[in-house]
A and B are shown apart, each in its own frame.
Chain A
Amino acid sequence: MFKKLLLSLILLLSAGLIFSQDANALGNPIKISNSSNDVAFPQTVADSKGYLHSVWMELNPGQTIFLGLNPGIYYSKWNGDTWSTPLKISENTDFAANPSIAVDSSDTVHVTWDDNTYGNCADGNPPPCRPGSSLPVAAYKTRSSVGVWSAVSTLPIPAGTVSNRNARIAINSANEPNVFFDATDVYNDSIYWTRFTAGAWTTPQIISLNEAGATITDSQWVDVKNDNAGNIHLVYWSWTQSLHYRKLTNNVFSTPFKVNDSGNMESTKLGATPAGEVFITWYQVYDTSVNVRWTQGGVWQLPVALTTSAQRSHWGYPIMGVTTDSKERAHVGWGEYDTSDGLVDLKYRSFVAGTWQTTQDVDLNNNNADTPFVYPDVWDNQHFMWAEKNPSTNVWELMYRVNEGTIQTVPTTGGTITANPFNINQVTLTVPSGALAAAAQIGIQVGPVPESVSPTQVTIPKAYTFRPDGLTFSTPATARIFYTTAEVAGADETQLKPWVWDSLTSTWTAQTVTSRSTGQNWMDISLSHFSLYGISAPRIVVEWEKPTKEVKKDSLKYSFEMKYASGDNIILANDPQALKVILKNSEGNILQTQLLGKKGVEQHGKDEFSGKINIKNYQSGNYTLEVLLNDSFMSSKDLVIE
């Protein structure tokens, strides 16, 4: 009955996140897990480059309760095209469950989960405990930006309690992991907070308070999200005192705000927009409604029931999700029982420009599904993860699907689609009139590059995927790709060109540029078919010969060798502006600029360059020489004038 739930949720949520309200994800569902184990509770985060990191828990086939040794916690990374082979990251000899994941600004991944391997034994004996008598404790592990995993450690169990679990992790403005978990003395449960600072976890502190400041003692679940400013938003729920929200800013919590009055709710989720607006959703048990409350300009709005026909998931995990995007929209999804076919469908509603849109439906009639989650990335794409029961093996498998950040229906008369997350133009696709035989939904996903084109090329760290696969045009479409000056630093911008990624062979194939503007930083390419495109330009190597030490005289002499990293020589345009040498002071102000030519930057042979700059009356101090090729930064040399 839940089979459509998951998949539909994915699609529904994704659709809501995109520009076009009736848009569905155009990417195909992909299976990530590769074992015969059952999968549950996938959690995902995108790092600063857009790569996705996912963790989930696996259970033995047929393991119906959270008890005994299970396969543990697994991890996989998406490189912009494919998912890596799942890696077991827990070292459990007992039950491990409920992972949570976050990434800091250094792209270090932080993971927590509940692990009975390291917890107290119920009979008071030291671990290992007799079967079935262990208590969980929150475990913690990190993955560096280059892929090195730390050893497993555990989080502190608060004084007066015997176990902690349901840990959620987020990163604060100081780039520190903050973990929130339920700790219990058996009869009372409260939410505690600890953060890793100065090499240790702080003493856990109770943060599940009510508006009067009294400790809530029946709170076991918390959801957390950090916003772009590094604030951490959290919501915790209690059976007797309902929902409370707090914000953590610079290690100081706001006063608890009671989000609603009902004690008959569960499955709370929270989302925070880039501007810090908060959206909180919950499932109200007695009337099976999904509700939302949110802030606008920091002011709480009245709750709205988005549906009264919601359903819970198989494991009891929230079947709803809430995400936000760079355009300050929010999207809430849930599952509903479909009496016509006995399955659960996914529904969603989007909050756009202050209004909740009508309910949208995606019904794939797929296999039984569970634990659906949706996660945003840095380009407004929405990534859906869920477990789906394979009817031929009865194994719950981990599935993934992306809903492109930009989806738009293009009629036969043609049209233009612009992908501009955070209002920055990344790519524009122009479909000429008559190119399509019928109107078609077209999606653009800006994402990370699977890998660099080659070591001798500067590969811009973005790739562009156009969907649906197999769409053909009678007249080629044109994609205008935008880039920044910083992205082409150290490269010959005039040689920038597109490449098509071959997923099967993991290789790039060069394409041609139809037009370009180095001044406005764009290039046009003609698309005969949809695929994943990257762009790169030949890397340039500059080796400074002079100055070699402190400059003592009135004249600054410089010389350097400049050529492509491939070893080929650079053929400069017959234009003095093609090559510049700039002298800057320590504040970055330009003092002098020399152009290519006599009494400027003189070329000797094919790759040797030199010049002389008058520095008479210059104050002693630190200065910098910079080489610009076609106005793109190539190299700099720090120097000291005495």
Chain B
Amino acid sequence: MNKLKMIYNKTDKKHLGIIVLAQSVLLILLLIALVQKNAPSFTIKAAEPTFSEIITQDAKTCLSLDPESRPVCARTAGIKIAGYTSVATERLAECLKFRPYYVHDCQLGLAQQ
């Protein structure tokens, strides 16, 4: 502690700020290097859609088809949902994206899995 004191005392007070700034930059660079080495997930890239988002897109696609085709794609979605989660209420929430008329078809898919 005394040595540090001596160093700072010997330094021109006008240059004190520059020294502190340089130390800070070095510390930040060190931290970035550590993070990149130990946490590759920080790499910037497109986020993967969640399963719920996938089913949402499936529902949008399904309900844009002609009415005769909707029961089939809703049931397919039900199978997919059942393969992803075993939580009953979460399954229902996903199947409800096929409201108003095709929830039942999705439920049939749940049972089919």
Contacts and interface: CB of A to CB of B under 8 A. Distances in A.
Interface string A52-73: 0000000000001111000000
Interface string A91-124: 0000001100000000000000000000011111
Interface stretch (B10-18, B36-44, B102-110): B102-110
Interface in B29-66: 52, 56, 59-60, 63-64
Contact of B101 (A132, A135, A316): A316
Given A64-B60, A65-B97, A186 B104 contact: no
A291 to B, nearest CB: 18
A121 B92 CA distance: 11
Contacts, number: 83
A98 B92 contact: no
B104 A189 contact: yes
B76 to A, nearest CB: 16
Interface string A418-438: 000000000000000000000
Contacts of A19: none
B95 to A, nearest CB: 8
B99 A66 contact: yes
B110 A187 contact: yes
Contact of B87 (A66, A123, A132): A123
Given A66-B100, A316-B67, A316-B102, A162 B59 contact: no
Contacts of B90: 122-123, 133
A623 interface: no
A197 B111 CA distance: 38
A502 B87 CA distance: 62
Given A218-B104, A220-B103, A316-B102, A186 B67 contact: no
A135 B92 contact: yes
B99 A97 contact: yes
A317 B99 CA distance: 10
A172 interface: no
B100 A315 contact: yes
A315 B100 CA distance: 7
Contacts of A185: 88
| Interface size classification for chain B | 20 to 34
A241 interface: no
A65 B74 CA distance: 13
Contacts of A266: 101
A67 B100 contact: no
B100 A135 contact: no
A65 B63 contact: yes
Residues of B contacting A: mostly: helix
B93 A64 contact: no
A482 interface: no
| Interface size classification for chain A | 35 or more
A312 interface: yes
A316 B110 contact: no
A66 B96 contact: yes
Contacts of A312: 67
Nearest to B85: A122
A315 B101 contact: yes
A316 B62 CA distance: 12
A311 to B, nearest CB: 8
Q: Which of B70, B93, B100, B110 has the most CB of A within 10 A?
A: B93
A495 to B, nearest CB: 55
Nearest to A40: B100
A135 B89 contact: yes
A184 interface: yes
A133 B88 CA distance: 12
Contacts of A314: 67
A97 B96 contact: no
A67 B67 contact: no
A403 B97 CA distance: 36
A408 interface: no
B8 to A, nearest CB: 53
Contacts of B93: 122, 132-135
Contacts of A98: 100
A186 B103 contact: no
Nearest to A218: B104
Contacts of A317: 100-101
Contacts of A120: 89
Contacts of A465: none
B31 to A, nearest CB: 32
Given A65-B56, A98-B100, A266-B101, A162 B89 contact: yes
A239 interface: yes
Contacts of A186: 88-89, 91-92, 107, 110
9 contacts: A97-B99, A122-B90, A122-B92, A122-B93, A123-B87, A163-B96, A165-B99, A187-B107, A189-B104
Interface of A: 64-67, 97-98, 120-124, 132-136, 162-163, 165-166, 184-187, 189, 218, 220, 239, 266, 312-317
Given A132-B56, A133-B52, A266-B101, 12 more contacts: A64-B64, A65-B60, A65-B97, A66-B99, A67-B96, A121-B89, A122-B89, A135-B96, A184-B92, A187-B107, A189-B107, A317-B100
